[in-house]
Structure formats: C-alpha cells, structure tokens
C-alpha cells in the first residue's frame, strides 16, 4: 500500500465510477483509458489524497480526491528521472528534452534527489502524449534540509546553461518554493503548502511563516 503520496506523484487506480456526478465527462473518459492522476497540494481527510485529472486539452483539469487504499501503482518524479526514458524520446530536438539531457548528469553528479514533473514527466511516466515542442522543463528537487541562497544561485546558473526554460521547485518539509525565487533577494518568498500559499522568510522553518 502507498501510504504517503507526495505532490507531483502519478497514481493509477482511480476508477471513473468513483467520481462525483458533477465531474465532467472527459474526466470519466480519461480514467476509463487508464490515465493516471497527479497528486496535488490540497487538504485531504485521513485515508484520502488530493489529486488532479488531466484531459487531452490544456484547459481540461479536474480536481478530486482518491482513496489511498485504491492506489494500484505510484510513479514519483524521481523515478521518472531514474528511468531515463527521455533518452529514447521520438522528439529529441525539443528544447525541454535537450535541456534534460544536458542537466541530468550534472544533477546526478551533485547527488540531488531530483525528478521530472509537468507535461513531460507525465508523458515519460505514462506513455501518454502530453508534452509539445514549446513545453518547459519542469523539475522538482527534494530538499529536506536548508539550501542556502548562494547554493540556489549556483544551481540556477547550472540550469541557465541549458537550452529552453527550466522551472525547478524545491520541495521542503513544509511545501514547495521556486528555486529562482529563493535564489533572489526578496526577504520573503512564496511557499506552496497543503493549505494554500504563504509568504515566508525561510521555507524550512515553519515558525517563521507569515500570512
């Protein structure tokens, strides 16, 4: 059983008949095609996890909840990175894939727990077409311990050497913060938490959180 799904994890096992009646038809159709759902940041009752369903169109996104006991498979962003399926992608010339090929060995050499999220991560994990030539490369980095602003600036410089835009989110114990924002000079940064966004001085110390 998968007890603690994290944001951006892809989950299989949600059946269309579990959706409420008001759910859009495309969401039921997607689940009928065994499309995975994406763990999102939102409150959930014990034994449940907040998830999002994505359809074929960009505007087709539906928020719902899933029983943890019904998860049949889980693929994390880090597992997508370890699998390395982008190396055999049919469109290696896409900027996001060229960027991924360039930064992956650098991030591995640094020993970082990084992963691929967004449309490209979804496609690599599920085999379902979701990315396109203009897709950004979305990455996440598990950061259980504080990353200094100087270290964040160094990491940004590494990412900026790659073709295409890379958006990396630092996953702290309390939520996610954009690497580029933490690398800046603002005294407070936006932290995405399970209960909504907060402005914080230090994303690793909840006692410093300010509404």
As annotated, the active-site residues are 136, 138
User: Taking a C-beta distance cutoff of 8 angstroms, is the pair 128, 163 a contact?
Assistant: no
Cα 143 from Cα 172, distance rounded (Å):
5
Instruction: Read off the DSSP letter of residue 44.
Output: -
**Angle value at C-alpha 109, between 138 and 153, nearest 5 degrees:** 55
Distance between CA 66 and CA 193 in Å, rounded?
A: 19
CA-to-CA distance for 149 and 151, rounded, in angstroms? 5
């Amino acid at each position: 059983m998968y007890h603690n799904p994290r944001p951006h994890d892809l989950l299989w096992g949600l059946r269309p008949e579990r959706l409420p009646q008001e759910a859009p038809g495309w969401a039921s159709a997607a689940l009928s095609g065994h499309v995975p759902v994406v763990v999102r940041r939102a409150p959930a009752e014990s034994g449940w996890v907040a998830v999002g369903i994505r359809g074929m169109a960009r505007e087709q996104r539906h928020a719902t909840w899933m029983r943890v006991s019904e998860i049949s498979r889980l693929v994390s962003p880090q597992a997508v990175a370890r699998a390395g399926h982008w190396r055999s992608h049919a469109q290696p010339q896409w900027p996001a894939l060229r960027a991924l090929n360039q930064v992956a060995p650098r991030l591995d050499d640094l020993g970082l727990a990084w992963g691929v999220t967004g449309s490209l991560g979804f496609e690599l994990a599920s085999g379902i077409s979701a990315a396109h030539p203009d897709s950004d490369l979305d990455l996440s980095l598990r950061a259980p311990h504080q990353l200094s602003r100087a270290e964040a600036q160094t990491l940004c410089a590494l990412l900026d050497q790659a073709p295409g835009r890379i958006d990396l989110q630092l996953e702290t114990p309390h939520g996610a913060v954009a690497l580029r924002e933490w690398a800046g000079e603002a005294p407070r940064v936006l932290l995405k938490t399970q209960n909504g966004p907060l402005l914080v001085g230090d994303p690793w110390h909840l006692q410093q959180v300010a509404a």
